[in-house]
Amino acid sequence: MSAQPRDTGLDGAALDAALASVWSARPGLLGWFTTVDHKAIGRRYIATAFLFLALGGVLALLMRWQLAQPEGRLLGPDRFNQIFTMHGATMMFLFAVPVMEAVGVYLVPLMVGTRNIAFPRLNAFSYWVYLFGGALLWIAFLLDMGPDVGWFAYVPLSGPQYAPGKRADIWAQMITFTEIAALAVAVEIVVTVFKQRAPGMSLDRMPLFVWAMLVTSFVVILAMPAVVLASTALILDRLVGTQFFNPAAGGDVLLWQHLFWFFGHPEVYIIFIPAVGMVSTILSTFCRRPIFGYTAMVLALVSIGLLAFGLWVHHMFTTGLPRLGESFFTASSMAIAVPSGLQIFCWLATLWGARPRMAVPMLYVLAFLFTFVLGGMTGVMVASVPLDTQLHDSYFVVAHFHYVLIGGAVFPLLGAIHYWFPKLSGRMMSERLGRWAWGLVFGGFNLVFFPMHILGLWGMPRRVYTYQPELPWAGLNLFSSLSAALLALGFLLFFWNAWRSARKGEMAGPDPWGAPTLEWATASPPPPWNFSRIPVVESVSPLWDAPGELKVATGLRLDRRELVLTSVMAAEPEARDSSPQDSIWPFLAAIVTSVMLIWSIFSPWAVVWGSIPVVAALILWFWPRGTPEDES
Amino acid sequence: MKEAAQSALAPGGAEAATLLALFWPVVALLGAIWLAVLLVAALGLWRRPGQPRRPGWPVGVATAGTVLVIIGLTFASYLATRPLSAAAEAPLVVQIQGRQWWWQVAYPAEGDAPGFTTANELRLPLGRQVRLELAAGDVIHSFWVPNLAGKQDLIPGRDNALLLTPREAGIYRAQCAEFCGLQHARMALLVMVQPAEEFARWRAAQAAPAAEPALAAEGRRVFEARQCSACHTVRGSTAKGSTGPDLTHLASRGSIGAGLLPMTRGALAAWVADPQTLKPGNNMPLVPLSSDELQALTDFMALLQ
């Protein structure tokens, strides 16, 4: 035991050299495929999710082009139905949920002061599965096999009788990929937050973003099984002739909707809760004060997470459910306005007289406030059964959910990218380009989507590939479509800014914003081991309250990847534990898993024969190799 | 006659009026709250930094206010739904079945008036409550006449119903509101609200078999002999198909192709000549006809008053 080298005596360059020798990824392409560094995977995850955002955005532009005039000729019904399905599926499953989890993968270990995420190989596996699932969907689309049944794939339209071919199966199996990826990340984040927080970071000293990711991860773990069940039952109906959803054989059509929305509504909060954490983080830093009402904010996050499971039926108010039950869901849907409102009031209190620095991240917070609160108001309207019978499945709803999803999640996300870009890349994003992009995105967004409220009230239903000239919808549609060009230009500027700043941006240094949380206590970008010494935390804003040097823990081994495990509540140090080394097996396991899942679209026997290589890959993944990690 | 645009903001019936009466106050209240939040944010930004005050009580008051607003709106919603499901003594019953991509409309026999089936057009007597019995023939559809009432889904394996009470005569457009496949966008229906006597006359005419004008004998022969009769019914002829719309009184309707084109002789000819270009993917095949056959067939159909 005495032979184990410890970090106690070393400092500075010698310590970093020793850490580099165990934590660095292998050089070259092999290192790229084998790394389990949460920062490398997180960056990759974020970049891939933004690629899908761009692809989904192109689809949105095609739809706006088609709908700019009555009897548009750009797209036929078949292509249009594929495109709106692909747009929804891409934005929800391949962009919004993964990007929030990806930001969590990158930031949570840094914010809680640990050296890697829990289960880092599972993390690598999660990314590859997500990538292959996204590729499956998009390659199928390019081969004219893209799903055309809506991102919600209601039966019986998506069932064997009305959706022949493989399009609906592609959708259902893409869901399986993203479920696996999302569940893996959720488990990693829960364990990282519960067991790997820096010594002293008791639950009431956790940054609000970490709280948000913790709540989100629990929502993922509780919501995903419903859609696993639903999509599996759909695949079984389609592939092996079960009758889960066939009313003629005793199945039930509405069962699908219950299962899908029991997942689908929490899904919205899976996207929104992390964004709330981003808003709190940015607001606190730029107001140079802690968020007002920390405990209230945490309780609001937790109650949103809980309420998220009690309001799925508001997607089904027009299906003819009993009136009393509908009224219950009106009450529960509206109730979510209370914790949401509480958060907004706490932000306003934080803002009050703080004279915040108006950098781009802060501008996105203001855009969020403007847009999200409006979307929240229309949300209260669609929660009301009588109003919803008019608004449901009309363009009013299209306007509503773009206000809450773009205003409530994408604006904070863009702010967060500006805010954490220095940590991700070591460089600042251009403030000037950022302001232009902000103006175009914020203005363009409202010009595109506000008229849709009116279109909905004028009776325009969703998901129509065209409309007749005698209907009064042409003017507002044209206005919306033209405005879409502004919005697209704003996003282009944002992408250009990120691309250029990653190469030529001003160097940032460890803490360019003067922020309070631990991710700013290390270099930008952080070294593979994150922190040369594990910080010790004594308040909710450690970098503000302990100016100069943070206290650190010492005594960790240097001959293996080692980190500190702490207790769940008080974060008292409990043990030193090893973190797994790089491995190619997560990548290979993801490939064989993907082969099995894709093959099973075509033959049920894939599940039998395809699982053999999966089991083999997992055995090799976990096979003891006598490395220091294997010591108990 | 009210030629209202398809809109939830121009009610022509009791239910839509109830909904609109809830809509505007809610918009005003929520709009005011939205503006108040923005105003507080602007004031907070504009305010000079000073002694940090304890903003605890305003946050508490605002949260309590949110709770009250929510309770009030829930209660108001509940009250507004009650008249929507209040059935009158003897409503007119109409059975609507959603099909990919058209509406089958059946009037069951009522008193002396015999029952009959038509398609893509719903005529209603002014002022009398109607109970629409909604069913789906294939996938889920949703029946929505925004000027008359909120929407209600037609779901395979379930029996839904919607009550509506027209208060103004006029023609209102309805459109399927639940995505139902390829031609979801082309699944409209015209609702014509007429005075009771006019409705009774229409009803009697619709229940009768098709007229037999000598002029259209050749067209009738084509209709019965070619594929048309396999899917369509023309009461009084040998055509008894049931997968497509009943065409007995086709020419009396306002439009063809489920709201696709106005009912003109030219539109009928164009539709029969090439239904797949006008409404790609719909279930009516292109039946090759000579130009004489097409002429005769169009004559026949245009006379199905």
- Per-residue pLDDT 10s for chain B (305 aa) are 455 678 999 999 999 999 999 999 999 999 999 999 999 999 999 887 765 566 788 999 999 999 999 999 999 999 998 888 888 888 999 999 999 999 999 999 999 999 999 999 999 999 999 999 999 999 999 999 999 999 999 999 999 999 999 999 999 999 999 999 999 999 999 999 999 999 999 999 999 998 777 778 899 999 999 999 999 999 988 999 999 999 999 999 999 999 999 999 999 999 999 999 999 999 999 999 999 999 999 999 999 98
Q: Could you report the predicted ipTM of this complex, rounded to two decimals?
A: 0.96
Average pLDDT for A171-179: 94
Cα distance from A422 to chain B (closest Cα, Å)? 26
Q: What angle do CA A141, A147, A153 make, to 5 degrees?
A: 155
DSSP string for residues in A30-61: HHHHH---HHHHHHHHHHHHHHHHHHHHHHHH
Q: Using a CB-CB distance cutoff of 8 angstroms, which residues of chain A are in contact with residue B178?
A: 154, 393
Confidence (pLDDT) at A322: 87
- Residue B167's pLDDT is 96
What is the residue-wise DSSP string for A491-552? HHHHHHHHHHHHHHSPB--S-TT---SGGGGS-SSPPTTS-SSEEE--SSSHHHHS-SPPEE
Interface test with B, best of A157, A382, A465 (most B CBs within 10 A): A157
Q: Do B7 and A156 touch (CB under 8 A)?
A: no
Amino acid, res. B3? E
- Cβ <8 Å between B23 and A387: yes
Q: Residues of B with CB below 8 A from A388's CB? A: 150
Query: From CA A473, how far away is CA A492, in angstroms rounded?
Result: 29
**pLDDT for the residue numbered A323:** 83
Q: Is the pLDDT of residue A387 over 60?
A: yes
Q: pLDDT at position B66, please? A: 95
B276 — contact with chain A (CB < 8 Å)? Answer: no
Nearest residue of chain B to residue A455 (CA atoms): B7
Q: Which two tokens stand for residue A139?
A: 């390659």
Contacts of A252 in chain B (CB under 8 A): 157
* Contact B41/A at CB under 8 A: yes
Contact A346/A293 with Cβ under 8 angstroms?
yes
Per-residue pLDDT at B1: 47
Does the pTM exceed 0.90?
yes
Question: What pLDDT shows up at residue A160?
Answer: 94
Task: Render pLDDT for A407-445 as a digit per residue (tens, 0 to 9).
Answer: 999 999 999 999 999 999 999 999 999 999 999 999 999
Q: For position A629, what pLDDT does the model report?
A: 62
* φ, ψ dihedrals at A364, nearest 5°: -65, -30
The pLDDT assigned to B82 comes to 86
Q: Which pLDDT belongs to residue A388?
A: 96
Q: Is A15 on the interface with B (CB under 8 A)?
A: no
Q: Is A332 on the interface with B (CB under 8 A)?
A: no
Task: Tell the burial category of A595 from Cβ atoms under 10 Å away from its Cβ (0-12, 13-18, 19+).
Answer: middle
Residues 283-312 of chain A with CB under 8 A from chain B are 289, 292-293, 296
CA B214, CA B212: separation in Å to the nearest integer? 6
Interface residue A546 vs chain B (CB under 8 A): no
Measured CA distances, A286 to A358, A365, A436, A520 (Å): 8, 10, 20, 14
Q: Distance (Å, rounded) from C-alpha A423 to C-alpha A419? A: 8
A117 Cβ contact partners less than 8 Å away, ≥ 6 residues apart: A38, A105, A108, A109, A123, A188, A189, A192
CB contact under 8 A, B26 and A381: yes
Q: Which chain B residue has its CA at the smallest distance from A153's CA?
A: B179
| CA pair distance B94, B106, nearest whole angstrom | 6
- Across A133-158, average pLDDT: 96
Confidence of residue A7 (pLDDT cuts 50, 70, 90): confident
- Domains of chain B, earliest start first: 1-199 (2.60.40.420), 214-302 (2.60.40.420)
Separation of alpha carbons B17 and B21, rounded Å: 6
Question: Average pLDDT for residues A118-147, to the nearest whole number?
Answer: 97
| Min distance A503 CA to chain B CA atoms (Å) | 34
Give the A:B interface size as CB pairs under 8 Å: 241
Q: Which secondary structure element, helix H or strand E, spans residue A623, and what is its range?
A: none
Cβ–Cβ below 8 Å for B59 and A349 = yes
Instruction: Indicate the pairing of strand B255-256 with strand B261-262.
Output: antiparallel
CB contacts, 8 Å: A352 with chain B: 43-44, 47, 53, 55
The one-letter amino acid at B68:
L
Rounded to whole angstroms, the maximal C-alpha distance in chain B is 96
Contact status, residue A313 vs residue A326, Cβ threshold 8 Å? yes
Stretch 101-160 of chain B: residues touching chain A, C-beta under 8 Å: 138-140, 142, 144, 146, 149-153, 155-158, 160
B59 touches chain A (CB under 8 A): yes
How many angstroms from the chain centroid is the CA of residue A6? 38
Residue A386 to residue B19, Cβ atoms within 8 A: yes
User: Could you tell me the maximum CA-CA distance found in chain A, to the nearest angstrom?
Assistant: 87
Stretch A16-27: mean pLDDT: 92
* Side-chain half-sphere exposure of B107, counting CA atoms within 13 A: 28
Average pLDDT of chain A to the nearest whole number: 94
Put simply, whether B30 touches A (Cβ < 8 Å) is yes
Q: What is the pLDDT of residue B89?
A: 83
A167 at interface of B, judged by CB pairs closer than 8 A: no
Tell me the chain A residues in contact with residue B184 when contact means C-beta distances shorter than 8 Å: 81, 461, 463-465
If pLDDT is split at 50, 70 and 90, which confidence band does A1 have? very low
Closest CB to B185: pick one of A77, A319, A331.
A77
pLDDT score, position B2: 54
Bond preceding residue A624 cis, omega within 30 of 0:
no
If you count DSSP H runs as helices and E runs as strands, how many of each does chain A have, helices first? 22, 4
pLDDT, mean of residues A431-460? 98
Taking alpha carbons only, the member of B126, B104, B121 closest to residue B252 is B121
Which residues in chain A have their CB less than 8 angstroms from residue B12's CB?
A: none
Residues of chain B contacting residue A334, judged by C-beta atoms under 8 Å apart: 70, 73-74
Chain segment A68-101, per-residue pLDDT in tens: 999 999 999 999 999 999 999 999 999 999 999 9
Got the DSSP string for B203-272?
HHHHHSPPP--GGGHHHHHHHHHSTHHHH-B-TTSS-B--SS---TTGGGSSEETTTTEES-HHHHHHHH
Task: Please compute the mean of the pLDDT values over residues A248-257 and round it to a whole number.
Answer: 95
> In this predicted model, what pLDDT tens digit does every residue of A24-63 receive, in sequence order?
998 889 999 999 999 999 999 999 999 999 999 999 999 9
Q: What is the mean pLDDT of residues A574-586?
A: 93
